[in-house]
Copies of this chain bind each other. A is one copy, B any other.
Amino acid sequence: MSTTRIAGTGLTRFGVHEGRSGRDLFAEAGLAALADAGISPEAIEEVYYGNFIGELAEEQGHQGPLMADAIGVAAPTRRLEGACASSGLAVRDAVRAIEAGQTDVAVVGGMERLTNMGTTAVTGGLATAADAVYEGQAGVTFPGAYALMARAYIEAYGGSKTDLAHIAVKNHANAAANPDAHYQHEITVEEALEAPIVASPLGLYDACPISDGAAALVLVSERFAESHGLEAPTAITGSGAGSDRLALQDRASMTYTPATESAATEAYAAAGITSQDVDLAEVHDCFTIAEVLALESLGFIERGEGMGLARDGVTTRGGRLPVNLSGGLKAKGHPVGATGAAQVVAVARLLAGTHPNASAVPNARVGLAHNAGGTVATATVHIVEVIE
């Protein structure tokens, strides 16, 4: 089995890109990743591309060949879709092809353009990640679905809106130092608590923004990295995926996410590590409660014990396990199809010392990226390590 090396990374800033098309966004990120890797488009053998609702946002399906063409690549391509986990799935399947020796060099990434749609259309579009018949037609949108999970969690285990506010405060503080983030301002616990309620108990600052953006990586086999003398200081040493029933009502529990646990178990085993070996993590915090559920399902803490980790400084910059140093979906932004790839970009840059917040984790060797779709009916986990 060949280890998958990260040869290059590229991002657009996440935020509102008025007047720019999806292909323009992906071209920026993809060409940046190729330049970072020092690899020409002609060398690329496969493209794994994630996008969620391009048909709705830009009347553009079939984006695989479009995005490959936008960066000058003529290789076979496919679009992966798993709602907000679309480009986590793209990373996943690219890593498998490289590990198998089927591909030596791939572009992996994702893009979403949302702010051009208008708020009502975006909310409706994002809701297509839920069960259209049993959730969507009953009026469930994602703030509501995650509010149900937050209420169930608090009822089962306790915790407060203040605990959740600390997660938002932490992620805003991290994003404030990240020029690629959608939001670059800090907030206080008081501001979070006083913000308008979106879906009780979740307020405005418990929710991630609607963002445009793109992310890309150049992934290569160890053999390719060595034969081409590439600087590729990090590797994806473990990959895992998990699924769950789509509709919340069909789940055994609303306070735990088994898809994440399955993905993590597989990824840890592949990397030969446990959760305790992880030095930093980017987790899927589309809402503050989602960060709590993720940290528990990833095995960083027991079930029911995750609510206070930001409040207690465990997951803050300087804590034992810094989480979402990029700012997370919460403050870095959430251009849906780009998110999973962007998380891996952030982890790679944090470990390589090239991320604006890398100074917070000078000795980190092992990072984790966790991407989730819908109310975690799809999850991927990737372990990134510094090459010795």
Q: Which of A's residues lie within 8 Å of B, judged by CB?
A: 21, 23, 47, 52-56, 58-62, 64-66, 68-69, 74-83, 89, 92-93, 96-97, 99-102, 124-125, 127-133, 136, 241-246, 250, 262-263, 373-374, 377-378
Residue of B nearest to A378 (CB): B65
Q: Are B245 and A69 in contact (CB under 8 A)?
A: yes
Q: Are B76 and A129 in contact (CB under 8 A)?
A: no
Show 28 residue pairs from A and B whose CB-CB distance is below 8 angstroms, ordered by the A residue. Answer: A23-B133, A52-B61, A54-B128, A55-B55, A56-B56, A59-B124, A59-B127, A59-B128, A60-B132, A62-B83, A62-B128, A62-B374, A62-B377, A62-B378, A64-B82, A65-B373, A66-B246, A69-B246, A69-B250, A74-B244, A74-B245, A76-B263, A76-B378, A78-B82, A79-B80, A80-B81, A96-B97, A100-B101
Q: Are B129 and A61 in contact (CB under 8 A)?
A: yes
Q: Which residues of B contact A78 (CB under 8 A)?
A: 80-82, 89, 92-93, 241, 378
How many angstroms from the CA of A96 to the CA of B125 in the assembled complex?
32
Q: Are A133 and B373 in contact (CB under 8 A)?
A: no
Interface centre among A53, A79, A97 (most CB of B within 10 A): A79
Which of B58, B77, B100, B242 is close to A243, meaning CB atoms less than 8 Å apart? B77
How many angstroms from the CA of A59 to the CA of B124 in the assembled complex?
9
Residue of B nearest to A130 (CB): B62
Distance of A140 from chain B, by nearest CB (Å):
12
Q: Which residues of B contact A243 (CB under 8 A)?
A: 47, 64-65, 68, 74-77
How many angstroms from the CA of A378 to the CA of B47 in the assembled complex?
12
Q: Which residues of B contact A244 (CB under 8 A)?
A: 65, 74
Q: Which residues of B contact A83 (CB under 8 A)?
A: 61-62
In the A-B complex, the 6 residue pairs with the closest CB atoms? A100-B100, A76-B241, A61-B128, A62-B83, A65-B377, A60-B132
Q: Are A55 and B56 in contact (CB under 8 A)?
A: yes
Residue of B nearest to A84 (CB): B62
Residue of B nearest to A64 (CB): B82
Q: Are A58 and B100 in contact (CB under 8 A)?
A: no
Which of B21, B62, B125, B246 is close to A65, meaning CB atoms less than 8 Å apart? B246
Q: Which residues of B contact A377 (CB under 8 A)?
A: 62, 65
Residue of B nearest to A81 (CB): B79
